[in-house]
Amino acid sequence: MDKKFSKFSFELGDFYPFQNKHDLTIEQINTIENFHKLYFELLEKKSGLQISWLGHQTGKTPSDLWLYQELIVKNKPDLIIETGTHWGGSAMFLSTMCNILSFGEVLSIDLYPKENLPKADRLEYLHGSSIDKEIFDKVKHKCKNKNNVMVILDSNHETSHVLEELRLYSKLVPLNGYIIVEDTFLNGHPSHVEFGSGPYEAVDLFLKENNTFVTDKSLEKFLFTLNYNGFLKRIS
Ligand SMILES: C[S@@+](CC[C@H](N)C(=O)[O-])C[C@H]1O[C@@H](n2cnc3c(N)ncnc32)[C@H](O)[C@@H]1O
Q: What is the pLDDT of residue 91?
A: 98
Beta bridge partners of 96: none
For residue range 147-161, list pLDDT tens digits in order.
999 999 999 999 999
For the Cβ of 187 lying below 6 angstroms from any atom of ligand 1, the answer is no
For the Cβ of 58 lying below 6 angstroms from any atom of ligand 1, the answer is yes
Q: What is the pLDDT of residue 137?
A: 98
Q: In the chain, which stretches have pLDDT less than 50?
A: none
3-state secondary structure labels for all residues of 177-205: CEEEECCCCCCCCCCCHHHCCCHHHHHHH
Q: What is the pLDDT of residue 78?
A: 98
The protein residue with its alpha carbon nearest to ligand 1, atom 4, reads 86
In sequence order, what E strands does the chain have? 51-53, 56-58, 79-83, 105-110, 123-127, 149-153, 178-181, 213-215, 231-234
Contacts of 132 (CB under 8 A, 6+ apart): none
CA angle (111, 227, 84) in 5-degree steps: 10
Say how many Å lie between the CA of residue 107 and the centre of ligand 1: 13
| Residues 213/206, Cβ–Cβ less than 8 Å | yes
Q: What is the pLDDT of residue 1?
A: 63
The protein residue with its alpha carbon nearest to ligand 1, atom 23, reads 155
For the Cβ of 227 lying below 6 angstroms from any atom of ligand 1, the answer is no
Pocket test for ligand 1, best of 82, 86, 186, 225 (most atoms within 8 A of CB): 86
Q: What is the pLDDT of residue 192?
A: 95
* Domains of the chain: residue spans and CATH: 51-234 (3.40.50.150)
Say how many Å lie between the CA of residue 187 and the centre of ligand 1: 18
Does the global pTM surpass 0.95? yes
For the Cβ of 165 lying below 6 angstroms from any atom of ligand 1, the answer is no
Q: What is the pLDDT of residue 48?
A: 73
Q: What is the pLDDT of residue 113?
A: 85
